[in-house]
Amino acid sequence: MRVLGVDPGLTRCGLGVVDGRPGRASMVAVGVVRTPATADPGERLVYLEQELESWLTRFEPDVVAIERVFADVNVASVMTTAHATAIALLAAAKRGIPVHFHTPTEVKAAVTGTGRAEKAQIGSMVMRILALDAAPRPADAADALALAICHLWRGQAQGRLAALAAGARS
C-alpha cells in the first residue's frame, strides 16, 4: 500500500509518501510546499492545490492520510490549516482516493509509542522506522511521513476490524 501523508499548513504543508504494510515501511518521497505569508490567500491555495495534484499524479497513492485539525486558541492559525486541509481533501476526492484523518496524538502514539512525544522524538523515530540517514527537515516533512506510517500501521488494522465486524453483521 502506498500512503501520501499530509501535514496541512498554508505557509508550510508537509508531504510524505511511504510504501509498506504493518510493521514495514519505506520512504518514497518527502517534501514541503511553501507559500509566502504575504501572498494573496487565494493564490496560496491555488499553488498548494497544484503541488498536491502534482504529487498525486507522480506518486499515485492508494490512500491519503491527513492530520486532523487541532482546535487551538489561535483561530487564524486553525483557519489557514483548515483551508489547507480542505485543498488536500478535495484533490484526493477528485481522483477517488480515500482520505483518512488521524489526530496528532494517534500519530505520535503509532510512531513513538506515546501520544505525548515531542517533535524531536517523532523525527528520530521516523528516521529509524524508514532507515534514513537523518531526520527529515523541517518538522512538517517528518510529520507528513509519520502520518503515512501511522496510517499504514493503524489504518489497515482498523480497516480489517471494520471488515470483520461488517461480515459478522451479515
- Give the chain's domains with CATH numbers: 2-169 (3.30.420.10)
Catalytic residues: 7, 67, 140
For residues 152 and 26, the answer to whether their CB atoms sit within 8 Å is no
Instruction: Enter the pTM of the model.
Output: 0.90
What torsion do the CA atoms of 59, 100, 14, 147 make, to the nearest 10 degrees?
-100
Higher pLDDT, 158 or 33: 33
**41 pLDDT more than 90:** yes
pLDDT score at 69: 81
What residues contact residue 2 under an 8 Å CB cut-off, 6+ apart?
A: 17, 18, 19, 28, 59, 60, 61, 62, 63
